[in-house]
Structure 1
Amino acid sequence: MSDQPIPDVRKSVTVNASVDHCFTVFTERPKDWWPETHVLVKKERAGLAFEPGVGGRYYEWDVEGNEIAWGKVLTWEPPYRLSMTWRIDGHWQSITDDERASEIEVEFTPVDENTTRVELAHVKLHKHGEGALGIFKALDGPSPGETLERFANAI
């Protein structure tokens, strides 16, 4: 593991939608906002899904039905918050456990009844080990970043 401290990466976007709608789009329609370049399956990706509730997976599958879990849901508090592990190694390759997985935290904060601030944070990046600093550098940049920009467009 890297002994260098790796900061969290936090991005946010404010969208014209209720907090309930934002949580639903995030958890029930990931294919609408998930970056097309973020793929772990080897064949053409056929779908993405979240299994609701703590302990559920968020995963993708290919056209042949092969599945790869991106991680496990750690917090499920609709419509305000969820968190999950991010099962990649320091070289952007899939790993099968959470020991070396960082975490992603997503918060949906109502600004008013028709506006929501969505914050996505990558935390505990040091757990990626040798390539953790490279992952930080790839994620760090201006808000909202590709994922939240696509999410805002899906809303």
Structure 2
Amino acid sequence: MPEQSIPDVRKSVTVAATPEHCFEVFTQRPGDWWPASHILVKKERAGLAFEPGVGGRYYEWDVEGTEIAWGRVLEWEPGKRLVMTWRIDGHWQSIPDDERASEIEVDFTAVDENTTRVELAHVKLHKHGEGAFGIFKALEGASPGETLERFAKAI
């Protein structure tokens, strides 16, 4: 499969909360929903955080204080949308910058006054280079997927 033809992976979940609350939980409490198996630090992970606003990092740190950025925020619209780079290579290892990073888009859409549809999309997967199709295959399973399933429970 040619690199450019790797499709986006889109998953969604509908939760009983406002878009503003969903955005808050997603960005202020990542430790409540982030899958434990998604880890880049070599030692035991001590925490996860988003730096608010465009240009902010989302990163983790280990018990010794070593930090690894998962990426940078490209769009920050509280209650509406979050877009960030995803700094991994085709073998699920950390990369130091956004040159070969794909992107993650998270949209928070009100269904009614107390319900929100949260859609998470992995886009530009071809940027991972060799191994990109393997990443696509790992991500493409049934919706909502582990991350959004955990997020829904955190709400």
Q: So what's the TM-score if we normalise by structure 2?
A: 0.98
Partner of 1:132: 132
Distance 2:113 2:68 in 1: 36
Partner of 2:111: 111
Which whole-Å deviations, capped at 9, do the CAs of 1:62-111 have from their partners, x for residues lacking one?
Answer: 00100000000000011100100000000000000101000000000001
Partner of 2:76: 76
Partner of 1:123: 123
Q: Which moved more, 1:3-12 or 1:138-147?
A: 3-12
Structure 1: 4+ residue segments shifted above 2 A: none
Runs of at least 5 residues in structure 2 that lack an aligned partner in the other structure: none
Distance 1:29 1:48 in 2: 8
Which letter does structure 2 place at the counterpart of 1:27? T
Distance 1:123 1:61 in 2: 25
Distance 2:77 2:4 in 1: 32
Distance 1:127 1:121 in 2: 15
1:3 positional shift: 3.4
Distance 1:53 1:128 in 2: 25
Which whole-Å deviations, capped at 9, do the CAs of 1:43-68 have from their partners, x for residues lacking one?
Answer: 00000000000000000000010000
Partner of 2:153: 153
Please say if 1:89 is aligned against 2:89. yes
Partner of 1:18: 18
Please say if 1:27 is aligned against 2:30. no
Which whole-Å deviations, capped at 9, do the CAs of 1:107-133 have from their partners, x for residues lacking one?
Answer: 000011110000000000000001000
Q: How many percent identity over aligned positions?
A: 83
Q: So what's the TM-score if we normalise by structure 1?
A: 0.98
What SS is found at the alignment partner of 1:130?
Answer: coil
Which letter does structure 1 place at the counterpart of 2:38? H
Distance 2:78 2:29 in 1: 15
What SS is found at the alignment partner of 1:138?
Answer: helix
1:4 positional shift: 5.1
Runs of at least 5 residues in structure 1 that lack an aligned partner in the other structure: none
Which letter does structure 1 place at the counterpart of 2:154? A
Distance 1:42 1:113 in 2: 43
